[in-house]
């Protein structure tokens, strides 16, 4: 069709790898390698004279279908799938950085990402500066002659701080650097960072893209030029996504738009209810009308997301809530159809030093929710009885 298709249609119809058997669902290619017709055919495949598949670490039809579908949703020329969200972040860094380079990173990141940047990236002679995700002036002040990459997640996990992508893209491109955005909390249907100037959008497909807590995966999206370099890195380092995981993730993508619409709606109702509770000192959710960055959120996001942070008095009070729920699952995963709850200070951000957590505004009384598809009044009732304990 010549008509531009809606994301909901692309999520179901985009990027199918069709075989001669005309299967309706995407076929699962559980094979490590692929055969060729002749020595010449093999030579042409390996030299890239013709398109095709040789080895699943390099490319696989099931994984390729997933990549094409995500690229369509992100508005990207190409996407590259990886084994996990962290391997996707690794690829975004090490494809384009070398010893002597400088990175400017938001200090408000998922705890494992902070550990990767501070403990692994810096081991290779790469310098890192940490700044507020929301203060563009801090980003500008951190620029050095060797700055090659700007990295952030927006909204931040779990405080819902929103970065001005267009302003940061303008800054990055003015100094010849790349802007890389972790889009895991919103998914490609909640935000398309590339449309606001980002060079690479990274997602943990384990989260909302799967949506059912089944398999792990990561994906990067961007221009053909950048993704070709990423694909070479991922192939060389063995970061390939399992074809089985890609097949599962494709089914997750098919319901992504509908799931996110309902989960965003549930999250907003819960966040508004939490604001009225006397035990709750603060609520962090980008869908709230009184969010300090509401105008920017309307510009960059298609909804408020599924993650809510809220603060109670201290660790003891937070643990009472976490231990008191009966419906919410006590687990650190997010994006699931099943609502989850965790205490960031001791779980997702637990390996950070206390001063690092406080610098990122992660405090002992903070509780994080990932809102799923249960009946919203049941979720509110569960939180009500847990807060009353």
**Quick one: tokens of 203?**
């997602």
223-269 per-position pLDDT tens digit? 999 999 999 999 999 999 999 999 999 999 999 999 999 999 999 99
What average pLDDT does the segment 147-172 reach?
96
Helix axes 315-324, 376-387, angle to 10 degrees: 130
> CB-hemisphere CA count at 13 Å for 8?
5
pLDDT at 362: 87
**What are the distances in angstroms from CA 2 to CA 5, 76?**
9, 18
Beta-carbon-side half-sphere exposure of residue 246 (alpha carbons within 13 Å):
32
Q: What is the DSSP letter of 120?
A: I
The pLDDT score that the predictor gives to residue 21 is 64
Alpha carbons 102 and 271: distance in angstroms, whole number? 38
Would you say 215 and 244 are in contact if contact means Cβ atoms under 8 Å apart? Answer: yes
How would you classify the pairing of strands 178-182 and 200-204? parallel
Whether omega for the bond prior to residue 310 falls within 30 degrees of 0, making it cis, is no
Going by pLDDT thresholds of 50, 70 and 90, the confidence category of residue 2 is: low
The residue count of the chain comes to 389
Q: Structure tokens of 59?
A: 């490319």
End-to-end CA gap in the chain? 57
d(CA 291, CA 270): 15
Q: What is the CA radius of gyration of the chain?
A: 21
How would you class 389 by CB atoms within 10 Å of its CB: exposed for 0-12, middle for 13-18, buried for 19 or more?
exposed
Give, in order, the Cα–Cα distances in Å from 374 to each of 270, 327, 334, 368. 12, 9, 14, 17
Q: Is the pLDDT of residue 1 over 60?
A: no
* pLDDT over 70 (residue 114): yes
Q: What is the pLDDT of residues 274-307, one digit of tens each?
A: 999 999 999 999 999 999 999 999 999 999 999 9
Give the pLDDT of residue 349: 84
How high does pLDDT run on average in the chain?
94
Report CA 310 to chain centroid distance, whole Å: 21
pTM of the model: 0.93
């Amino acid at each position: 069709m010549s008509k531009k298709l809606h994301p909901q249609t692309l999520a179901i119809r985009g990027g199918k790898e069709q075989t001669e058997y005309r299967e309706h669902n995407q076929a699962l290619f559980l094979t490590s390698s692929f055969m060729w017709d002749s020595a010449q055919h093999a030579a042409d495949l390996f030299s890239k004279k013709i398109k095709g598949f040789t080895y699943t670490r390099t490319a696989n039809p099931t994984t390729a279908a997933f990549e094409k579908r995500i690229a369509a949703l992100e508005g990207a020329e190409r996407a590259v799938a990886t084994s996990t969200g962290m391997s996707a972040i690794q690829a975004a860094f090490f494809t384009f950085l070398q010893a002597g380079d400088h990175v400017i990173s938001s200090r408000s990141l998922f705890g494992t990402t902070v550990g990767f940047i501070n403990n692994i990236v810096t081991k290779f002679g790469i310098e890192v500066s940490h700044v507020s995700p929301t203060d563009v002036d801090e980003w500008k002040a951190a620029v050095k002659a060797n700055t090659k990459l700007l990295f952030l997640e927006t909204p931040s996990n779990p405080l819902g701080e929103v970065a001005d992508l267009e302003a940061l893209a303008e800054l990055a491109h003015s100094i010849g650097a790349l802007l890389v955005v972790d889009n895991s909390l919103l998914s490609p249907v909640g935000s398309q960072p590339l449309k606001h100037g980002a060079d690479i959008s990274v997602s943990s497909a384990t989260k909302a893209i799967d949506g059912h807590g089944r398999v792990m995966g990561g994906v990067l999206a961007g221009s053909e030029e950048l993704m070709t370099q990423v694909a070479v890195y991922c192939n060389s380092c063995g970061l390939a996504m399992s074809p089985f995981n890609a097949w599962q993730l494709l089914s997750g993508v098919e319901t992504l738009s509908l799931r996110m619409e309902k989960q965003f709606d549930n999250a907003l109702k819960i966040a508004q209810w939490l604001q009225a509770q006397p035990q709750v000192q603060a609520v962090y959710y980008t869908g709230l009308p009184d969010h300090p960055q509401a105008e920017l959120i309307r510009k960059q996001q298609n909804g408020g997301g599924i993650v809510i942070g809220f603060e109670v008095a201290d660790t003891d009070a937070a643990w009472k809530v976490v231990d008191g729920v009966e419906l919410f699952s006590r687990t650190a995963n997010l994006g699931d159809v099943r609502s989850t709850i965790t205490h960031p200070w001791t779980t997702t951000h637990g390996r950070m030093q206390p001063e690092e957590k406080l610098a990122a505004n992660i405090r002992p009384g903070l509780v994080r929710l990932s809102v799923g598809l249960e009946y919203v009044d049941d979720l509110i009732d569960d939180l009500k009885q847990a807060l009353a304990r």
